[in-house]
Chains A and B, each alone.
Chain A
Amino acid sequence: MARQTPKHAAAPAPAAGFVDDYLAYLLARASHLVSAEFHAQLTALGVAVPTWRVLSALSDSNGLTVGELAKIVLLKQPTLSKALDRMIADGLVSRIASSADRRQVRVSITPKGRAMVEGLIARAVEHEESVLSSYGAAERQILKQMLKTLIDRLSPLSEA
């Protein structure tokens, strides 16, 4: 698979413009670069990105409400609902009434969905490994830790 950018480019040139040093832009660009290759793999397998996100989010849960799921998979509820309808028809997820509250519906992964996502997760782990291959263990930990901290600190604000 072609790799667009060398992993360790020479020390970055002084910032050419505003965006080149702007956090939101850096995060967005990094996210795009990291995801693009894997999304290409998904497309080649005939798996829509929302399908992958929903399945991977459900893979280690006992079911989530549509609201909870929407936050994790970064999709708006109407878009997610449409994706879920398709996935239910395909037998990848099902809607089940919550045992605690019959009115509350949870989405859970089916055996077929589980069989599918386990293969995709293995590919995702492989892909992550290739993305991080030139980073040492400590670097990887710092990178992930900083992103997690950033998410944690910002989350209450956006969800308030």
Chain B
Amino acid sequence: MASFADQAKSHYFTYPYFAFRRPAELAGGRQLHPVAIVGGGPVGVTAALELARFGVPSVVIEADDTVAEGSRAICFSRRTLEILDALGVAGTVMEKALPWTHGTSYYKDKPVFRLEMPHGEHDKFYPMVNLQQCYLEKFLIDRAAAAPLIDIRWQSRVVGLTKEAEAVTLDIETPEGRYPLRACYVIAADGARSVMRQLLGLSLHGQSYEGRYLIADIVLRSDYPTERRAWFDPPSNPGSTVLMHKQPDDIWRIDYQLRDDEDAEQELQEPRIRQRIADHLSFIGETKPWELDWFSLYKAHSLCLDDYVQERVIFAGDAAHLAPIFGVRGLNSGIADANNLGWKLALVIEGKAPPALLRSYGEERRAATFDVFANAGKSTLFMTPPSRGYAVMREAALRLAVDQPLTRPLINPRQSQPFYYRESALNTDDRAFAGGPPPGALPPGRRLTDGGYLCDLIGRAFTLLAFADAMRDYLGPWLAAQAGVSLTVLTDDLRADFDAAPASLYLLRPDGHVAARFKARPSLADLEAALKRAQGNA
């Protein structure tokens, strides 16, 4: 594992050092924590911020003394930015990140596909931004450090686990000794090599692809705009696929595929990496001097746990699922996990929903994982053809695409889209709708007449969206008796987006997804039943 001492060499990022602080438990203090989070990476800290947003304190256990090294995840989706916005982190991210909307794919030296992601006045955030993961982690940690409900314990690693009826005890090893940490629930967000998974004797299932990628950050001053570029079989690296992304601080991320006949150990030698990158830069006409900042080897996987909820231990992020990087679904999925889990665990911790609600986290996010696998799988087959057959087909598609628009959609990189929880047990549907976001989906991005955005109004609690002022009187007494449900009446111009009549109602979950909708005014009993169902009382 990387440590602070190893990472001081970065050209652009000052790695923070996080000191160990003695917790009360080391002095013999015994305390039951509502939630312990194993892993102080971006998923763990996002989960802590989500819980804090709902008033639930947590202890975060992190083995390292600094943030993860290198650019890693680099691309963050619009949905991720919306989630971070509710946690008060999106502003800091946007000050630093580079937004983009376009991409170009090349076959050898010819452009064959132009990627264009929709972005308009109704979108609060760009469809995608590039930012080194080390920055995102630092911004999240800065935010968490200022939150009184979050206690991050650095240089502390979990080495044992004991289950009790009402709690889990983690054995924590620190520079100053071991102590037991008791918690009602544990979120395991300790990454691809999850210790929590090992301690519970669980393993990931699925497939690993043959493809291996060398991923590297270089320092390069270039005015080329921020967009995704992919080269298939470029003259600079014949038989390989090369991806390039611009990042803040004049850092460029270059990913290139290793061919089957190339030896990983040899390819990880710095002179070899420099040569291959230099060849590619000269091919694309970048002549300025550059410097290698960080590199790593990456192998594509589609693996996940059979169940993300293991009694009182709940898995999130890479600890629960590993997906290929193509289409940027790794960390974006992990952030969505934390966003899905936060409100549910908070309701369970406060006895406002039964523990059964947590099952829906596992079901919904596993469905999202399989959707990621399906999309990323297609991309992976294209990016790293596993057999002669796939390779021939890809070459045919690419060759044709040079002149023929017909095969161009095959080259579409299928960038991450928010997943709709279509099959969720929390949903209540009304077939009378012919449009609008169905249960499980997110409402569309909309700019409001007051200058704000629709996404600013939702995602703090359960939200009822109504479309006429008269609904206030109807819902008033019912709302007064409900804790944690708020009402927003939208202006008439938004009815079309929701296929709404004046008396229609949408019930949104605290993570913004639609839980239920009613085309005609529902009885209060039906509304209450939908709310109960969305809280796991099915």
Contacts and interface: CB of A to CB of B under 8 A. Distances in A.
How many residues of A sit at the interface, in one of the four size bands?
Answer: 10 to 19
A91 B351 contact: yes
Nearest to B182: A118
B30 interface: yes
A114 B32 contact: yes
A122 interface: yes
Nearest to B34: A115
Contacts, number: 50
Q: Interface residues of B: mostly helix, strand, loop or mixed?
A: loop
A158 B185 CA distance: 42
Given A91-B349, A122-B30, A114 B483 contact: no
Nearest to A60: B166
A93 B350 CA distance: 7
B372 interface: no
A118 B32 contact: yes
B32 A115 contact: yes
Given A119-B31, A122-B30, A111 B483 contact: no
A94 B30 contact: no
Given A111-B184, A112-B56, A114-B184, A88 B351 contact: yes
B352 interface: yes
Contact of A112 (B30, B31, B167, B349): B349
A112 B166 contact: no
B348 interface: yes
A23 to B, nearest CB: 38
Interface in B8-38: 30-34
Interface string A95-137: 0000000000000111111110011001000000000000000
A28 interface: no
Contact of B352 (A91, A108, A113, A115): A91
How many residues of B sit at the interface, in one of the four size bands?
Answer: 10 to 19
Most chain A CB atoms below 10 A, which of B31, B32, B348, B351: B351
B32 A91 contact: no
A110 B354 CA distance: 10
Contacts of A10: none
A122 B56 CA distance: 21
A89 interface: yes
Contacts of A113: 351
Contacts of B185: 111
B184 A115 contact: yes
Most chain B CB atoms below 10 A, which of A89, A112, A113: A112
A110 B32 contact: no
A117 B167 CA distance: 14
Interface in B341-398: 348-352
Nearest to B353: A94
B31 A89 contact: no
Contacts of B352: 91, 94
Contacts of B350: 90-92, 94, 110-112
A119 B32 CA distance: 7
Interface in B128-173: 166-167
Nearest to B183: A115
A111 B31 contact: no
A30 to B, nearest CB: 29
A114 B166 contact: yes
Contacts of A110: 349-351
A108 B348 CA distance: 13
B528 to A, nearest CB: 15
Contacts of B184: 111-112, 114-115
A94 B33 contact: no
30 contacts: A91-B55, A91-B350, A91-B351, A91-B352, A92-B350, A94-B351, A94-B352, A110-B349, A110-B351, A111-B166, A111-B185, A111-B349, A111-B350, A111-B351, A112-B34, A112-B349, A112-B350, A112-B351, A113-B351, A114-B166, A114-B167, A114-B184, A115-B32, A115-B33, A115-B34, A118-B30, A118-B31, A119-B31, A122-B30, A122-B31
Interface of B: 30-34, 55-56, 166-167, 184-185, 348-352, 483
Given A91-B350, A114-B166, A122-B31, 10 more contacts: A88-B351, A91-B349, A91-B351, A93-B351, A109-B351, A111-B348, A112-B56, A112-B184, A114-B184, A122-B30
